Amino acid sequence: SDSRMEPKAAKKAKIDESLYSRQLYVYGHDAQHRMQEANILLLGLGGLGVELAKNIILAGVKSVGLLDRTVVEKRHRGSQFYLSKENVGQKRDVACRVQLADLNGYVDVHVVKSSAKDAIDSKRYNVVVATEMTLKQQVDVNNLCRKVGAKFISADLRGLLGSIFVDLGPRHIVSDIDGERPKRSLIKEITAAEEAVVTVAESNRHGLSTGDFVRFEEIKDFPSLNSLEAKPIKYMGPFKFSVKVDTRHMRSGSKSTSGGYVQQVKQPKEFKFLPLEKCVKNPKIASDMGDGKTLHSLSYALSEYKEKSGKYPDPTSPKEVQEVVSIAEKFANEVLKEVKLDSKKIWKLARTAKAVIGPLAAVVGGIAGQEVLKAASGKFSPISQFLYYSAEKCIPDSPPTSFKDYEPQGSRYDDYISIFGSKVQAAVQNLNIFLVGAGAIGCEMLKNFSMMGLGSAKDGKVTVTDMDTIEKSNLNRQFLFRPRDVGSAKSETAAKAAKAINSSFNVIAHTHRVGSETENIYNPEFWSKLDAVVTALDNVQARLYLDNQCIFYYKPMFDSGTLGTKGNTQVVLPSLTESYGSSQDPPEDSIPLCTLHNFPYKIEHTIQWARDKFEGLFKNVPETVNSYLTEEKYLEKLAEDPNEEIKSLELLNLSLGKDKPLSFEDCIHWARRVFEVEFNNKILQLITALPPDKVDADGNPFWTGHKRPPKPIKFDANNPLHIEFILATANLRAKVYGLAGSRQKAVTEKEALKAVVPEFTPSKAVKVAKDDEEMKKMMEEETTGIEKKLKSLRDSLPKPSSLTGYKLTVEHFEKDDPTNFHVDFVTACSNLRASNYEIKTASKHKTKQIAGKIIPAIATTTALVSGLVCLEIYKRVQDFKLEAFSNSYANLAISHITASEPFQPAYKEIEIKKGKKMKFSLWDKVEVKIGATATLKEFCEHFEEKLGLQICMLSYGQALLYSQFGFMAKKKNKLRFKMTMPELIETVGKLTLPKGLPFVMFEAMVTTEDDEDVDIPSIRFWLKTDS
């Protein structure tokens, strides 16, 4: 049958969620199903082709056919990471098939024996990807694809110029153009008019644009609005829009103010494409990071030159390069008309065209790989229709005065030498880099470094550290790992795999966490030898720590990160740019306690509530019991916090008393009682204290806006959700108490019905906190008059000596083990809570993401950002000025890539001595070189003489070494003034300075001669004055 079907008709092959979990949060199940039915034909297996193949195979398409009969040359190994010495002389498709197939066992990776024409005519492949072809060859392949209805993508890499063309046929349907979560807003009011104007609550902007579709939900005054189909809106402001809905029946001039929600409904979008032959002379160019028409003219000229000469221009031949420039200028003048070309840019790029380098293959392979997956899945907006990427900022503006440095040397680095020259290549090979993280970005970095030859010379090396071990879910994007590596250390496995790409690569793997606790390993000596730090991290705290270390040791840092289809890079350069910590994203909004406890209105609220329940029942309970049984003075420590004491004592009495289970049946009975308390009793109590018809002092309804009156749930053994909760809860309880559990639902149903559930009558005397302030006040009131109860609870506890050796098992939430009941519990618990409040429930897949704080991730974005970082490293090696560097942002879902010049550091200026000023940024230090034997007195005098500043306080880390203020200051300082600075640190600070330390850093509070307090930079006191 013809596999080139409309997206909705795709067969639903089973998805391995444990492998594709992070990717599924980007694409969704429907798009993943469609990708799993896609058959891809890949023409060309050079550096770009193998990058494309890797990204497509990791994503999990059905099959990839490889066709490239080019014979492997030594220089190909500089960008094609699956070619070894032994492959030289073989055909490229045969040479790399086995390693590509090893990436994903679900994908059929095969070498195509027939010609490209026959393969396309066979109709086996629904997406055809062409690389390393001239325009004429691309047009021929594109026309063949058009005839059989296959989608066509071409991608090429010529030196520092990347190009992509997309033709997905006359009609391509996209189910979701951007992958953004549909917007949802609380309605403040709806006007009664022929075209209704909707105003949303001012707590959040609606985030909609003209043409977006919305539907109404939970509108009580006019429920007929809830049954309307989705309608397009017209933007009127951040909190207001109009929608073509006649609301005049809502009584003339009246407004609906009872709340309800407006929900965005994403609509499929149709894209129409033209064939390549119609686009060459009338190009539609998407995001191009520069002058699109100039780059299009160059791309055309390079293709024409290759058609005529059979090769690209020699990078050491100005004559051949100029021929390309002339063809481009002629094309621009005669075909594109009125296009003023940047001839300087064309010359720079044309000279490099013969080369293919790893970092740029990663960039273009990431972008083009995403286009292939868009074609296969019908998800995200495809490029329309050309996209160009130029990295000309990686080489000097002026052409070389001599081309000798760019001549080939018969090595795997010849392509790099032809672009950057042998001197730059030698400098790259001698770099000493600290790579922190060996996950998805870390694997891509190591692959790039290995191909670049970074750290492969005698004085060069890469130190990579990562404390994590490999899990199955990593294999989908952390491409240096295989199923056989699961459980091994990431850093060690990745280093070994990267060294297999290039045996000269000097890489050392560590398994240490980078932080204050490992400063004995990553000490001043280690930092002094580094040329740069490259981060491959997934958390802000670790980045901030490294950022501070880089400021301290005056080292550059190259940072990158991804979130699904979005990626960013940042360059941090000593004295040239601000630091990573200079600007940060705002912290995530936390959920108010009152919302969690009493007034949830989003599924995120119920999931967090369920997650908290997990921590309380299966982590905090066993930890509390174990502490009581093993810590001698546990009850004394507990008494220091009255709020916690009564809760912990009640918990201990239950856990070691009447609730202590002796069998799995006991665990089921306990789970049934938990169900009753959480989803029936507490809800009954809440609506008794705050009835659904409650109004405030002004007569306004209490239950309005985001506040939703809940309904209690009666246990039903025939309801699958109820049994799922009992099953998961009972099994977790059994694990905590070391009892054997069971997965038999029939047993669970039967035992749950046997459970004795105490009668519950809600009390009107019980108060419920209406907000966080009231909740805090009530918690404080609870601590009064409880001493008698506390004594009774303490007395009723079993003595630890009577339970010697008894220990409970602590459950730490682990999202990626489908057998441990953790996600099962949180899903069932959250969905029951959501049912209480009539909130739409969530799948286990969605719950796992929110509860586990999973960051969506895909291989294409990871490849892209790693390549961008490596291009910035070349600029640093060449000591370029700030304007050459770029911080980049990309969103592959909408084919958007942009770059901006990094911000300069903020400077501060203070007046020190009269007429003398000090200007400094975060990179600057006050340098003091008066010898390690200088006393504190001499140190202070140095400041007064040189800077006119008086030191009032001096600290080293957390230790205060000197202060003019406070009791006994004069007496203490008399002794301290005589100490040398190292003695002061070791005696007063009670710290031992490591041997060989070149300097120490002090912080000081100072005043000017006019007795004004001023801020100064950190003080670097040199212990070795020859440094």
Catalytically annotated residues: 594
CA dihedral 285, 291, 293, 298 (to 10 degrees): -110
Alpha-carbon distance of 1015 to 922, in angstroms, equals: 12
Select from 157, 17, 3 the least CA-distant residue to 79: 157
At residue 609, the 3 state secondary structure works out as helix
Question: In the chain, helix, strand, coil percent, each to 5?
Answer: 40, 15, 40
Whether the CB-CB separation of 487 and 469 falls below 8 Å is answered with: yes
Distance CA 534, CA 557 (A): 6
User: What is the C-alpha separation between 170 and 151, in angstroms, rounded?
Assistant: 10
Residue indicated by tokens 């840019």: 345
Cα gap 863→858, rounded to integer Å: 9
CA 221, 226, 227, 231 torsion-angle sign? positive
CA distances from 315 to 48, 159, 322, 407 (A): 20, 10, 11, 8
Q: How far is CA 305 from CA 231, 300, 403, 410, in A?
A: 53, 9, 21, 25
* DSSP secondary structure letter of residue 685: H
How many CB atoms within 10 Å of residue 933?
A: 11
Distance in angstroms (rounded) separating the CA atoms of residues 987 and 1000: 15
Handedness of CA 259, 260, 261, 262 (dihedral sign): negative
CA dist., res. 382 & res. 173, Å (int): 10
> Could you please report the per-residue DSSP string of 234-258?
EEEETTEEEES---GGG-TT-EE-S
At which residue do the structure tokens 């169900």 appear? Answer: 675
SS3 of residue 1026 by DSSP: coil
Q: How far is CA 79 from the centre of its chain?
A: 26
Tokens of 626: 């174990």
Neighbours of 743 (CB within 10 A): 10
